[in-house]
Structure 1
Amino acid sequence: MLDVSTTGVLVGILLVVLLAVGVHIGVALGLTGFLGILLAINPQAALAQLATVPFSTTNSFTLAVIPLFILMGALATQAGLTTDLYRAAYNWLGRLAGGLAMATTLASAAFGAACGSTVVNAAVFTKMAMPEMTRFGYDKRLSAGCIAASGTLASLIPPSILMIVYAIITEQSVARLLVAGLVPGLLSATIYLLGIYALAKARPDLAPIPDVTITRAERWRSLRGVWGITFLFVLVIGGIYAGFFVPTYAGAVGAFGAFLIVAFRGRLGGRMLVETFKDAGVTTCTIFIIVIGGIIFARFLTYTGLVGDVSEWMLALQLPPLAYLAGFAVLYLLLGMLIDPIAIMVMTLPVMFPIMTGVGYDPIWLGVISIKLAEISLITPPVGLNVYVVRSASPVPLTLEQVFAGVSVFLVLDVLTLALLIAFPSIVLVLPNMMG
């Protein structure tokens, strides 16, 4: 058997090579973790991980909430809730400076309360809002950047798949984490709205005010369409916060609630249900592969003692807590330029979580900060996942350069939000601390 240090170096190099040649992140993590255990411990231990981890992971009651929330979002999309949200937001904000972009942000934030997936959020609103903003003369860069950035709000606003992944990896309360994301998510959306308004005021050519008259009656009538999202949000998050049910039950109730909305709107069909369940299943399997591979990799780090050694070494430096937080943020942003947020969390948290909590950071607060950093990574070049989603889903011709140019303003706004969350931790902890 090789010594731990040599094995760690070889495994690290192999992981980088596999990612560089395009191997799926879940497969790369699982394979390198397996080889690491094989080389550092013995083949029996490595084979035992392959035999037990896939089943024990997918058999987890806590992890069952992920496919349920994904299904809820897919059914909400089929019910047409996104269209109703966008119409209502447009009717109320459309006549303001930057109103269409603000409407897109507000509707995207609201849909995040039923979706939980940034990719789905960005894809849906690209197809819906991009042609509309282009038709009214909005700058393509601002339009695309707004959609890509607003899609990330689904990561913070509960229910959030990233929050659940964080909770599973760090063994924290899923309910407290989901509730903790609400105020920071609303804060992020508000700062986006204020930033768009200020930019449109300073540069009216980027976001012309549409020459359309919207009556007061039309505005109030459009609010009828937001009842579906309101119903799902109160049902799921209200139920969790009030203690009526645990998050997994909340996911099941939310999915069933979305199913009832689809049926109520007369959109229930055999083919639609098959496609919806298929899409939800594919998305779930993709996430589970990453989590399974990450757990095998984390077992390698734990069994060989690398986590403990790195933690002890880092804590022995006795740096100020902000220095550790700065290093944590830089690590996330650098990795976010190359791989998706779930993979980042699976790779980094087994090592970084004990270090960050060891210097005094609250684990729930750290979860929200991790998600916010993951949000930023979703629109950071060269591999901002949401940027590629907007580019590929857009009915209007777009280049990657235009979308990345558009998100630059929102990256500045995200840094401002992050600074507020760090300076005032109570923004994150106020709701979780009020739970029983």
Structure 2
Amino acid sequence: MFDPATAGIIVAIMLFFLLSMGVHIGVGLGLSGFVGILITINERAALAQLATVPFSTTNSFTLAVIPLFILMGALATQAGLTTDLYKAAYNWLGKISGGLAMATTLASAAFGAACGSTIVNAAVFTKMAMPEMTKFGYDKRISAGCIAASGTLASLIPPSILMIIYAVITEQSVARLLVAGLIPGLMSAAIYMLGIYLVARARPDLCPIPDVIITRREKWESLKGVWGITFLFILVIGGIYLGFFVPTYAGAVGAFGAFLIVAAKGKLNGKMLVDTFKDAGITTSTIFIIVIGGIIFARFLTYTGLVGDISDWMLALELSPFMYLVGFAVLYLLLGMLIDPIAIMVMTLPVMFPILTSVGYDPIWLGVIAIKLAEISLITPPVGLNVYVVRSASPVPLRLEEVFAGVTPFLMMDFVTLGLLIAFPSIVLFLPNLMS
């Protein structure tokens, strides 16, 4: 048997080798954790993890909210809520400098309140908004960058799948975390819109104002289309905030509410339901595989004492709390260039969460900071998952470097938001502290 330090090196090398070979991140984490337990404890302990972790993880009452929120988002998409949102935002903002991009940001943020998935958000708005913006003369780079960055807002604006993953890993309140993401998410969207306006004013050739007349009556009538998202948001987040039901029940109520909206719009049919449940099932399975693999990997770190050893070593450095936070941010941004946010969280939080909370950081505030860093990693090269989604889903011919060039100004805006959240923790904690 190997000592924990040697086993840790072997497992780390094995994990990065598997990832470099294109192995699914969940499989790579689980296999590496299995081998780590095998070479440090024994074969029986390693096999016991394979036998128990998949069931105990997927049997979790807390994690049951993930497929429900995913289903709610899928049904909301089928109901055409994204089209209604974009039309309303376009009617109200289209005649402002950068208005189409601002409308995309606002509609994407609103849809995040029903979706919870950055990938779905980015893919939906790429197909819908990219042709519109390019048709009216918008630069392809700024259009693609706006869609990729705005898609990340679903990570913060509740309901957020990443928030639920964080809550499960760190054993925090899902309800408080979901509510904590609301103001930072809206602030992120507002900063995006302000940044777009300033860019459009400085470079009108990138974001020309459409030569289209929109009457006041058309503006007000378009607001009728936002009732569906408003209904779902009040139903889910209002119910959680007021204590009417826990997040898992809120997911079930939200999914049923989205089902009723689909029925009310006359879009309910057997084929649609089968496709919707199939897509939701595939997305849920992908997330659960990552979580299961991450938990097996975390068990290896815990059983061998590596978590405690690393924590003790880092705390012995006696750095300031801010420097520990900077190290956490750098780690997230570096890993975000290589792997997806869920994998980053299941890999790092078992080690970093005890360190950061022990030096005084609030766990709810830390969750929002972690999610914001995950948002940034979604548009950071060379991986930038949302960038690849926009590139793949775009009906307009796009090169990958064009999308990365387009997200650069949005990355700078994200760092402004991150700085404000760090400087003023009350932005995050105001709403959760009002909850009973």
TM-score, normalised relative to structure 1: 1.00
Find the counterpart in structure 2 of residue 290 from structure 1.
290
Find the counterpart in structure 1 of residue 207 from structure 2.
207
- Give the root-mean-square deviation of aligned CA atoms: 0.4
Aligned counterparts of 2:374 and 2:389: Cα–Cα separation in 1? 16
Aligned counterparts of 1:416 and 1:4: Cα–Cα separation in 2? 40
Aligned counterparts of 1:25 and 1:358: Cα–Cα separation in 2? 29
Aligned counterparts of 2:392 and 2:49: Cα–Cα separation in 1? 38
Aligned counterparts of 1:38 and 1:388: Cα–Cα separation in 2? 36
Find the counterpart in structure 1 of residue 402 from structure 2.
402
Find the counterpart in structure 1 of residue 344 from structure 2.
344
Aligned counterparts of 2:393 and 2:29: Cα–Cα separation in 1? 29
Find the counterpart in structure 1 of residue 180 from structure 2.
180
Find the counterpart in structure 1 of residue 115 from structure 2.
115
Aligned counterparts of 2:352 and 2:289: Cα–Cα separation in 1? 22
SS in 2 for 1:396: coil
Write out per-residue CA displacement over residues 16-48 of structure 1, whole angstroms, 9 at most, x where no aligned residue.
100111110000000010110111011111111
Aligned counterparts of 1:2 and 1:205: Cα–Cα separation in 2? 63
Find the counterpart in structure 1 of residue 248 from structure 2.
248
SS in 2 for 1:137: coil
- For 1:116, the aligned partner's letter is G
1:223-238 equivalences in 2 (<5 Å): 223-238=223-238
Aligned counterparts of 1:4 and 1:150: Cα–Cα separation in 2? 42
Find the counterpart in structure 2 of residue 75 from structure 1.
75
Aligned counterparts of 1:75 and 1:200: Cα–Cα separation in 2? 35
- For 1:96, the aligned partner's letter is I
SS in 2 for 1:209: coil
Are residue 421 (structure 1) and residue 385 (structure 2) matched?
no
1:53-68 equivalences in 2 (<5 Å): 53-68=53-68
Aligned counterparts of 1:85 and 1:381: Cα–Cα separation in 2? 30
Aligned counterparts of 1:225 and 1:113: Cα–Cα separation in 2? 15
Aligned counterparts of 1:38 and 1:395: Cα–Cα separation in 2? 48
Aligned counterparts of 1:282 and 1:238: Cα–Cα separation in 2? 29
Write out per-residue CA displacement over residues 277-308 of structure 1, whole angstroms, 9 at most, x where no aligned residue.
00000000000000000000000000000000
Find the counterpart in structure 2 of residue 27 from structure 1.
27
SS in 2 for 1:206: coil
Write out per-residue CA displacement over residues 330-358 of structure 1, whole angstroms, 9 at most, x where no aligned residue.
00000000100000001100111001111
Write out per-residue CA displacement over residues 112-165 of structure 1, whole angstroms, 9 at most, x where no aligned residue.
000000000000000000000000000000000000000000000000000000
Aligned counterparts of 1:389 and 1:362: Cα–Cα separation in 2? 34
Write out per-residue CA displacement over residues 194-229 of structure 1, whole angstroms, 9 at most, x where no aligned residue.
000000000000000001110111000000000000
SS in 2 for 1:375: helix
Find the counterpart in structure 1 of residue 99 from structure 2.
99
Deviation >6 Å, runs of 4+: none
Find the counterpart in structure 2 of residue 41 from structure 1.
41
1:337-376 equivalences in 2 (<5 Å): 337-376=337-376
Aligned counterparts of 1:117 and 1:4: Cα–Cα separation in 2? 37
Aligned counterparts of 1:55 and 1:196: Cα–Cα separation in 2? 46
SS in 2 for 1:371: helix
TM-score, normalised relative to structure 2: 1.00
Aligned counterparts of 1:228 and 1:266: Cα–Cα separation in 2? 14
Find the counterpart in structure 2 of residue 87 from structure 1.
87
- For 1:338, the aligned partner's letter is L
- For 1:5, the aligned partner's letter is A
Are residue 304 (structure 1) and residue 326 (structure 2) matched?
no
- For 1:267, the aligned partner's letter is K
Identity across the alignment (%): 83
Aligned counterparts of 1:318 and 1:435: Cα–Cα separation in 2? 35
Shift in Å, 1:2:
1.1
Aligned counterparts of 2:239 and 2:32: Cα–Cα separation in 1? 41
SS in 2 for 1:415: helix
Aligned counterparts of 2:204 and 2:98: Cα–Cα separation in 1? 8
Aligned counterparts of 2:170 and 2:43: Cα–Cα separation in 1? 27
Point out where structure 2 has 5 or more consecutive residues left out of the alignment.
Answer: none
Write out per-residue CA displacement over residues 49-70 of structure 1, whole angstroms, 9 at most, x where no aligned residue.
1111000000000000000000
Find the counterpart in structure 1 of residue 239 from structure 2.
239
- For 1:183, the aligned partner's letter is I
SS in 2 for 1:204: coil
Aligned counterparts of 1:4 and 1:401: Cα–Cα separation in 2? 42
Aligned residues between the structures: 436
Aligned counterparts of 1:319 and 1:313: Cα–Cα separation in 2? 11
Are residue 168 (structure 1) and residue 175 (structure 2) matched?
no
Aligned counterparts of 1:222 and 1:164: Cα–Cα separation in 2? 33
Shift in Å, 1:184:
0.1
Write out per-residue CA displacement over residues 316-335 of structure 1, whole angstroms, 9 at most, x where no aligned residue.
11101111011100000000
SS in 2 for 1:398: coil
Aligned counterparts of 2:25 and 2:351: Cα–Cα separation in 1? 18
Shift in Å, 1:5:
1.0
Find the counterpart in structure 2 of residue 430 from structure 1.
430
Aligned counterparts of 1:419 and 1:50: Cα–Cα separation in 2? 41
Point out where structure 1 has 5 or more consecutive residues left out of the alignment.
Answer: none
SS in 2 for 1:267: coil
Write out per-residue CA displacement over residues 347-405 of structure 1, whole angstroms, 9 at most, x where no aligned residue.
10011100111111100000000000000000000000000000000000000010000
Aligned counterparts of 1:20 and 1:360: Cα–Cα separation in 2? 36
Aligned counterparts of 2:340 and 2:308: Cα–Cα separation in 1? 26
SS in 2 for 1:324: helix
- For 2:236, the aligned partner's letter is V
- For 1:311, the aligned partner's letter is S
Find the counterpart in structure 2 of residue 381 from structure 1.
381
Shift in Å, 1:431:
0.3
Find the counterpart in structure 2 of residue 257 from structure 1.
257
